[in-house]
């Protein structure tokens, strides 16, 4: 094996070499300077990888693919291993299955390590520790020789970037190294202890390392923009902008310590880093200098780290930036924020008469902020205020997006020129679809690129037209499979809640997904074992979805005379009280400026009205329940509102721990070697601790049969389907019409239920309060429905 073979990239593999033209390289070879992961983005720059290999050369080099997966896992802002390991589905499991699961488990341990162990010098020690005892790595002699060859001939990477045909042995080798590391380090604590034993590191402290929770992700944000008619024009432009965008997304700088010169010397280090002049001393002098820490060493170099800067995007909302230029401006902003290579946080401001911070992370926020419009002709005043009053710091990378015509204003030209050191990029839009990108460098403006977007072509098929097309339209399956609002069984109650309510003896929850849920407290205590685990809580049913409300402030809930739900919201920071009819969507609000209402006033419902009250004040403010919102000050001599509120809060305390961790990010659905169903790497199995029950545990067995995914529908080869619902429910539809459709909730590490339209078995937590379902033993339901569902798929496969 030579240098070319070591850095070789392969067809259809998880990584490849690519180029970022804005990143210089001391070697003078600036092409193929990025390691790019399929479906994830840029993981590392070549200078950084070479610095790591330089540190490893005295103990030997691991396989290059193994090293890249480790570097990916110890980054601060990783995207998750599921995306990485989904790339391996195309390879035969019988070839790699022995190492696949152990490799993933080890990388999960690395991700769970505290960031202190993954930064600066500690990062180097961590990597050295991982590969220190591996017998499959390339020897010290090989590593030293290959490193020297690379320094002389860095352009050899160009040959390595030409993809070769992938041999399955390459993948097995990369995974095997990580699988063996998983056996050597059974816990995260064992990794830390090994790091301390590998080298004395003063910065490392003993601490409890907690596993990070899985990030719950929704479907692709850009696709959501395209599917929403109000944001279709923006969404359809973003990927086209990505294809031509040439601005740098990450910047590398040297480590914190100096490299080279007298400042790089130290009196502590390894013998191989000792200055050669020290060995010229007499033996006794030499030993004394070493023993008394007087000998001089070359300080260990730190690999380049990512430069920390604050990226800010300013969007012009003046009159001339209205219409198509504004659509292009928002599309450009989102293209920068959501670019696959972008990992740093980004703030966005709408510039008009003033500077308004906005968010573009959700479709609803994009729709709302598209309506930002200012009556001013140009925004020089707001731009000047931004730099001179609000953001005086220098470590900014500011993008200013405006219409090309606005640059003709002298005031705007003056402000841009005066702040050209901090205004890094200028983006101009036009009504004919032209985008121009400029960069300020050393006081001058340089035109980077021009992108001309074919607006007619990109906007030719809005979502409404696609829905009306016939059977032969290939894009007819562009949306998710519909799911009902409710099922024969209850949903698991979510952990994240905006607010809980008690109204006329019933409990309600306003969830973080902006749903109004109704939940129950069971009055049946017959199963002691069950209630030891779940107390008296039950699941919930959905009453309303997509409630137009911001999750801030205080809330109260009631019904009007027509038995329609009224949601009242008090936002102290905006001095705003509002009412929303959840049935009719009617909304009214009232500004409380001028009223003597403090931020600590509390909102409550009592006796057919809403109230704002404070414990130490006799007077309360009454907000009407019926009609448009109004407010009046009344006497509260008996403190009735406060007394009732205390009682309500006492009852609501019973819901404090009612939430369950919902499994809502679905992937890898199939059947494993134990003939059990696997849902997102969790095995659906029957357990017998408390009679017979059903639960989801982490899958430890090889998946033999995979289902094909189409959005939220997973289809097996026989035609059987599993439809997932991110609210926590699975729908099973067998190709065997003699097996009725049935439903199973999706929660991690809890007792589940299985139900059809007529029968129910399992945890009473999911049983509706008033139901006609026939209750049966779980073991009977499992055998009659789930086992038959699995057998049908297996029989077709054989």
Per-residue pLDDT band at 678 (split at 50, 70, 90): very high
Query: Is the CB of residue 558 less than 8 Å from the CB of residue 567?
Result: no
Assign 3-class secondary structure to 414-444: HHHHHCCCCCCEEEEECCCCEEEEEEEECCE
Q: What's residue 549's pLDDT?
A: 87
Stated as kind and residue range, the H or E segment containing 790 is helix 787-797
pLDDT digits (tens, 9 = 90+) for 693-729: 788 888 888 988 989 888 899 999 889 999 999 999 9
Q: CA-CA distance, 269 to 263, in Å (whole number)? A: 15
Stated as kind and residue range, the H or E segment containing 158 is helix 156-161
Q: What secondary structure does DSSP assign to 657-687, as a single string?
A: T----B-------EEETTS-EEETTEEEEEE
Give the other-Cβ count within 10 Å of 198's Cβ.
Answer: 16
pTM for this one? 0.44
List the one residue out of 127, 115, 52 whose CA is nearest residue 300. Answer: 52
Stated as kind and residue range, the H or E segment containing 623 is strand 619-623
Query: Is the CB of residue 420 less than 8 Å from the CB of residue 441?
Result: no
φ and ψ at residue 669, rounded to 5 degrees? -95, 130
* pLDDT for 108 beyond 50: yes
Residue with tokens 């036009």: 430
Q: What's residue 253's pLDDT?
A: 46
List the one residue out of 540, 533, 534, 537 whose CA is nearest residue 515. Answer: 540
Residues in the chain: 798
List the one residue out of 400, 437, 436 whose CA is nearest residue 418. Answer: 400
Instruction: Determine the 3-state secondary structure of 329 from DSSP.
Output: helix
Per-residue pLDDT band at 753 (split at 50, 70, 90): very high
Q: CA-CA distance, 125 to 428, in Å (whole number)? A: 46
Instruction: Determine the 3-state secondary structure of 390 from DSSP.
Output: helix
Q: What's residue 771's pLDDT?
A: 86
Q: What's residue 724's pLDDT?
A: 94
* pLDDT for 468 beyond 90: no
Of the two residues 479 and 45, the one the predictor is more confident about is 45
Of the two residues 151 and 265, the one the predictor is more confident about is 151
Residues 6+ apart with CB under 8 A from 706: 89, 668, 669, 670
φ and ψ at residue 767, rounded to 5 degrees? -85, 120
CA distances from 343 to 307, 375, 765 (A): 12, 35, 41
Per-residue pLDDT band at 395 (split at 50, 70, 90): low
List the one residue out of 504, 496, 502 whose CA is nearest residue 649. Answer: 502
Q: CA-CA distance, 115 to 196, in Å (whole number)? A: 16
Query: Is the CB of residue 348 less than 8 Å from the CB of residue 357?
Result: yes
Q: What's residue 743's pLDDT?
A: 97
Query: Is the CB of residue 434 less than 8 Å from the CB of residue 337?
Result: no
Q: How far apart, in Å, do the first and last CA atoms of the chain sit? A: 43
Q: CA-CA distance, 27 to 443, in Å (whole number)? A: 27
The burial of 584, by beta-carbon neighbours within 10 Å (0-12 exposed, 13-18 middle, 19 or more buried), is given as exposed
The domains of the chain are located at: 3-213, 227-250+306-458, 258-300, 497-655, 670-797
Q: CA-CA distance, 437 to 397, in Å (whole number)? A: 14
The burial of 325, by beta-carbon neighbours within 10 Å (0-12 exposed, 13-18 middle, 19 or more buried), is given as buried
List the one residue out of 665, 742, 723, 220 whose CA is nearest residue 483. Answer: 723
pLDDT digits (tens, 9 = 90+) for 231-288: 888 888 888 888 777 776 554 444 444 445 555 677 777 777 788 888 888 888 888 8
pLDDT digits (tens, 9 = 90+) for 571-612: 988 888 999 999 998 989 888 887 878 778 889 999 889 999
* pLDDT for 306 beyond 70: no
φ and ψ at residue 603, rounded to 5 degrees? -100, 135
Per-residue pLDDT band at 23 (split at 50, 70, 90): low
Per-residue pLDDT band at 22 (split at 50, 70, 90): low
Q: CA-CA distance, 74 to 77, in Å (whole number)? A: 9
Per the rule left: phi > 0, alpha: psi between -120 and 50, beta: everything else, 563 is left
Could you give the angle at the alpha carbon of 238 between the alpha carbons of 232 and 241, nearest 5°?
A: 140
List the one residue out of 349, 448, 443 whose CA is nearest residue 402. Answer: 349
Q: Where does 227-250+306-458 sit in CATH, by number?
A: 3.40.50
The DSSP 8-state label assigned to residue 460 in this structure reads S
CA distances from 553 to 36, 518, 550, 588, 651 (A): 43, 21, 8, 16, 21
Q: CA-CA distance, 347 to 343, in Å (whole number)? A: 13
Instruction: Determine the 3-state secondary structure of 789 from DSSP.
Output: helix
The pLDDT mean for the chain works out to: 80
* pLDDT for 208 beyond 60: no
Q: What's residue 516's pLDDT?
A: 95
Q: CA-CA distance, 340 to 347, in Å (whole number)? A: 17
Q: CA-CA distance, 98 to 701, in Å (whole number)? A: 10
Cα–chain-centroid distance for residue 502?
33
Q: CA-CA distance, 382 to 353, in Å (whole number)? A: 6
In this structure, of 102-116, 500-514, 529-543, the range with the lowest mean pLDDT score is: 529-543
Stated as kind and residue range, the H or E segment containing 237 is helix 232-244
Instruction: Determine the 3-state secondary structure of 164 from DSSP.
Output: strand
* pLDDT for 501 beyond 90: yes
The DSSP 8-state label assigned to residue 116 in this structure reads G
Q: Are strands 554-559 and 297-298 parallel, antiparallel or unpaired?
A: unpaired
Q: What's residue 536's pLDDT?
A: 67
Query: Is the CB of residue 754 less than 8 Å from the CB of residue 742?
Result: yes
Rg of the chain over CA atoms, in angstroms?
Answer: 31
Q: CA-CA distance, 260 to 265, in Å (whole number)? A: 8
Q: CA-CA distance, 362 to 367, in Å (whole number)? A: 9
Residue with tokens 């780290």: 305
Stated as kind and residue range, the H or E segment containing 180 is helix 168-184
List, in sequence order, every residue forming a beta bridge with 31; answer none if it has no partner: none
The burial of 368, by beta-carbon neighbours within 10 Å (0-12 exposed, 13-18 middle, 19 or more buried), is given as middle
Q: What's residue 24's pLDDT?
A: 58
pLDDT digits (tens, 9 = 90+) for 420-430: 888 888 999 98
CA trace torsion 527, 531, 536, 537 (10° rounding): -110
List the one residue out of 327, 320, 366, 369 whose CA is nearest residue 453. Answer: 327
Query: Is the CB of residue 540 less than 8 Å from the CB of residue 509?
Result: yes
The DSSP 8-state label assigned to residue 150 in this structure reads H
Per the rule left: phi > 0, alpha: psi between -120 and 50, beta: everything else, 608 is left
* pLDDT for 763 beyond 70: yes
């Amino acid at each position: 094996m030579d240098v070319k073979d070591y850095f070789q990239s392969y067809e259809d593999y998880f990584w490849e070499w690519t180029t970022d033209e804005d990143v210089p390289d001391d070697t003078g070879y600036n092409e193929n300077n990025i390691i790019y992961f399929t479906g994830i983005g840029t993981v590392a720059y070549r200078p950084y990888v070479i610095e790591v290999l330089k540190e490893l050369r005295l103990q030997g080099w691991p396989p290059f693919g193994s090293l890249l997966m480790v570097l990916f896992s110890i980054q601060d802002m990783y995207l998750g291993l599921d995306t990485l390991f989904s790339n391996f589905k195309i390879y035969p499991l019988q070839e790699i299955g022995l190492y696949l699961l152990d490799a993933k488990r080890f990388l999960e341990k690395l991700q769970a390590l505290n960031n202190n162990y993954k930064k600066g010098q500690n990062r180097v020690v961590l990597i050295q520790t991982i590969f220190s005892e591996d017998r499959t790595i390339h020897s010290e002699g090989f590593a030293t020789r290959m490193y020297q060859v690379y320094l002389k001939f860095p352009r050899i990477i160009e040959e390595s970037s030409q993809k070769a045909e992938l041999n399955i042995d390459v993948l097995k080798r990369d995974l095997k190294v990580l699988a063996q590391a998983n056996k050597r380090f059974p816990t995260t604590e064992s990794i830390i202890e090994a790091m301390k034993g590998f080298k004395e590191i003063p910065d490392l402290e003993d601490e409890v390392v907690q596993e990070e929770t899985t990030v719950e992700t929704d479907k692709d944000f850009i696709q959501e923009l395209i599917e929403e008619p109000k944001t279709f024009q923006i969404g359809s432009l973003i990927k086209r902008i990505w294809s031509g965008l040439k601005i740098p997304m990450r910047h590398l700088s040297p480590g914190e310590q100096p490299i080279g010169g007298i400042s790089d010397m130290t009196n502590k280090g390894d013998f191989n880093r000792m200055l050669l002049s020290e060995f010229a001393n007499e033996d006794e002098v030499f030993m004394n200098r070493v023993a008394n820490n007087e000998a001089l060493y070359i300080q260990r170099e730190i690999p380049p780290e990512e430069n920390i800067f604050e990226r800010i995007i300013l969007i012009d909302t003046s009159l001339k930036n209205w219409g198509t230029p504004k659509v292009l401006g928002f599309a450009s902003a989102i293209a920068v924020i959501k670019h696959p290579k972008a990992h740093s946080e980004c703030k966005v401001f709408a510039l008009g008469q003033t500077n308004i911070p906005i968010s573009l992370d959700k479709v609803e926020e994009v729709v709302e902020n598209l309506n930002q419009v200012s009556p001013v002709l140009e925004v020089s005043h707001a731009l000047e205020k931004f730099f001179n009053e609000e953001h005086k710091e220098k470590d900014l990378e500011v993008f200013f997006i405006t219409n090309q015509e606005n640059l003709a204003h002298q005031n705007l030209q003056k402000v841009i020129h005066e702040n050209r050191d901090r205004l890094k990029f200028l983006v101009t839009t036009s009504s004919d679809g032209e985008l121009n990108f400029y960069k300020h460098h050393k006081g001058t403006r340089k035109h980077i690129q021009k992108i001309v977007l074919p607006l007619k072509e990109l906007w030719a098929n809005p979502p409404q037209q696609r829905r009306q097309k016939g059977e032969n339209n290939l894009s007819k399956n562009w949306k998710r499979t519909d799911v009902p609002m409710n099922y024969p069984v209850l949903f698991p109650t979510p952990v994240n809640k905006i607010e809980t309510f008690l109204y006329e003896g019933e409990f309600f929850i306003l969830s973080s997904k902006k749903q109004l849920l109704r939940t129950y407290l069971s009055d049946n205590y017959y199963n002691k074992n069950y209630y030891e685990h779940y107390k008296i809580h039950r699941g919930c049913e959905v009453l309303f979805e997509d409630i137009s409300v911001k999750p801030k402030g205080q809330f109260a809930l009631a019904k009007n005379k027509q038995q329609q739900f009224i949601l009242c919201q008090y936002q102290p920071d905006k001095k705003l009280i509002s009412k929303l009819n959840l049935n009719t969507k009617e909304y009214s609000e009232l500004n409380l400026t001028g009223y003597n209402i403090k931020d600590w006033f509390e909102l409550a419902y009592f006796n057919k009205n809403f109230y704002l009250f404070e414990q130490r004040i006799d007077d309360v403010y009454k907000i009407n329940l019926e009609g448009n919102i109004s407010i009046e000050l009344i006497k509260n001599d008996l403190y009735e509102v406060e007394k009732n509120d205390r009682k309500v809060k006492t009852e609501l305390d019973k819901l404090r721990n009612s939430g369950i961790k919902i499994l809502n990010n679905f992937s890898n659905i199939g059947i494993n070697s134990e003939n059990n169903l696997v849902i997102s790497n969790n095995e659906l199995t029957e357990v017998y601790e408390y009679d017979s029950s059903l639960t989801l545990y982490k899958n430890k067995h090889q998946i033999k049969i995979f289902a094909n995914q189409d959005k939220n529908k997973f289809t097996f080869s026989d035609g059987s389907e599993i439809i997932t619902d991110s609210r926590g429910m699975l729908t099973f539809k067998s190709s065997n019409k003699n097996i009725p459709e049935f439903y199973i909730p999706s929660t991690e590490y809890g007792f589940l239920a299985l139900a059809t339209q007529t029968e129910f078995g399992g945890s009473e937590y999911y049983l509706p309060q008033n139901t006609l379902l026939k209750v049966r033993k779980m073991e009977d339901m499992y055998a009659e429905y789930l086992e038959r569902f699995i057998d049908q798929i297996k029989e077709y496969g054989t």
